[in-house]
Structure 1
């Protein structure tokens, strides 16, 4: 007599084998029987995701409408909406920003740190939003503004820049470097005393935040010299010269989904990361 439990299991397995995709084909294609139900895990995932997405849209519709309608300055004043923008930005930041700026804005080598209060282009929430909309392209001439610095003068300027970062710029030992700094017109961008007079993308030389540091453990003086000698984004005949720093941030208005809202969201998030101005 055939065991009833065995028959039940047999028919149960037989049913699932026919109903769901299970049996690999022997033609070497890696395909399998599709099953009478036409069911796939991918379709079930997509259906579940759609349900979740629709639920989120319904639950947070009022906040999303406010984000779309309000300016970043007004969002920043609304604590509840600001918290919502920050909370919903983390995945976006991970997908679109962390590749350069690292998780939490800690900054990968040779990319700006967003988790401090040192801002090349200004740290107001509106300035951050503008940077994301328009992108940013760094610019610094090689060998001084006019390309007129000698090797010795570049060495002197490097020593002066290092001294500025340590608060020693007025020491008599760096007089030659200060003179070369003036000759090379470094002050036109970095200010007479190493601090830019306006946020135009130029580094503050009086702090110890370095835009280009190479890999961890790199000699800072060598890195500073290389930036002075080869500049930033310097091209000849349409090609970057050897040794020049490349500093480029693309516009995200065409890269982000729902860019109008998501750029605002990310601007609020980045502003919160670095003690924005």
Structure 2
């Protein structure tokens, strides 16, 4: 083929296709060759200085002795050194004192936001807006009270409310009447006299309170006594989407009722609980983290 090269004098290989497509034999540009040899030199230097070649179960250590774990530990140490003074203050102050200190409060909220994302957002949403079936934390509606004390208690011990399933206790007419009355109350109405009478006659006030606001008693310090029953007098529905059918479902099948597949599931885990891992007692969150989260949720929802 080279003997029949139609482009004599051209630096090509003699391979020609379709009459004029040919393979040239020109050398690469000098800059390209310099970059090529420089890259080879870089690789050789890198493998000498840093861990690179696998030898058995480990890699060659490199002359610099650098490791990712070492760099990570140094970074953690730097962060801990910055956080240390703030963490020390938080450990020695009450939640109320922290809230009163703007600078320390800002640090606490920033730190707790990470904890909230790790432990709470899966159920309550990244901004406390509440995922379907879980309480909203960004409003001022609290099932167990929104004070710092109550919030720490909730985060530490968890919550598992209960409501009796009334499908076999009340008649269909009574269930419909109570469901309609609950909708009236959530819509801002004072509720019909017949509804209030049925509400009390069937013992709903034992959990939801005499005012149907979920409060059984108000204590002098502002705390309230509650069993976690929903407030029926506001516009907030514990279980979405709300309305007649939602209220009817809850009344019929209750909340956390064993043996009833249709019951509402409403369980919050205890983040202060102790578990044994390899015979070592560990907690999901320590007291300091629980204090931070309580402050974060308190500020998120405006307290209460």
Q: TM-score range by the shorter chain?
A: 0.7 to 0.9
The CA RMSD measured in Å over matched residues stands at: 3.1
Classify the secondary structure of the residue corresponding to 2:163: coil
Q: 1:56 to 1:100 in 2, by over 3 A?
A: same
Q: Determine if contact 2:207/2:226 at 8 Å carries over to the other structure.
A: no
* Structure with the larger strand share: 2
Matches within 5 A, 1:96-107: 96-107=119-130
Q: 1:131 to 1:114 in 2, by over 3 A?
A: same
Distance 1:9 1:95 in 2: 42
- The alignment covers a number of residue pairs equal to 255
Q: 1:71 to 1:9 in 2, by over 3 A?
A: closer
Per-residue displacement from partner, 1:200-234 (whole Å, max 9, x unpaired)?
Answer: 31111011111111xxxx46221111111111111
Distance 2:81 2:53 in 1: 41
Question: Quick one: higher RCO (CA 8 Å, sep 6+), 1 or 2?
Answer: 1
Deviation for aligned residue 1:24: 9.6
* Structure with the larger helix share: 1
Which runs of 5 or more structure 2 residues have no equivalent in the other structure?
1-29, 216-224, 274-281
Deviation for aligned residue 1:87: 1.2
Deviation for aligned residue 1:97: 0.2
Which runs of 5 or more structure 1 residues have no equivalent in the other structure?
26-30
1:259 is aligned to 286
Deviation for aligned residue 1:37: 2.1
| TM-score (ref. length: structure 2) | 0.74
Q: Does 1:117 align with 2:144?
A: no
Q: 1:86 to 1:10 in 2, by over 3 A?
A: closer
Per-residue displacement from partner, 1:161-214 (whole Å, max 9, x unpaired)?
Answer: 001112324446xx2x3333222211111123321234331111011111111x
1:149 is aligned to 170
| TM-score (ref. length: structure 1) | 0.80
Q: Determine if contact 2:47/2:53 at 8 Å carries over to the other structure.
A: yes
